[in-house]
Homo-oligomer: A and B are copies of this chain.
Amino acid sequence: MDKNTSSTTELKNAGLKVTIPRLKILELFLHAETRHVSADEVYRTLIDNDIEIGIATVYRVLTQFVEAGILLRHNFDNEHSVYELEHGNHHDHLLCTKCGKVEEFLSEEIEQIQRDIAKAKQFDMTDHTLVIYGICKQCCKTIK
Residues of A within 8 A of B (CB): 75, 77-78, 94, 96-97, 103, 105, 107, 109-110, 113-114, 117-118, 121-137, 140
Contact = CB atoms under 8 A, between A and B. Distances in A.
Nearest to A97: B126
11 contacts: A109-B109, A114-B132, A123-B136, A124-B135, A126-B134, A126-B135, A127-B132, A127-B133, A127-B134, A129-B131, A130-B130
Copies in the complex: 2
A118 B130 contact: no
Contacts of A126: 97, 133-135
A67 to B, nearest CB: 13
A45 B57 CA distance: 38
A121 B126 CA distance: 28
Contact of A132 (B96, B128, B131): B128
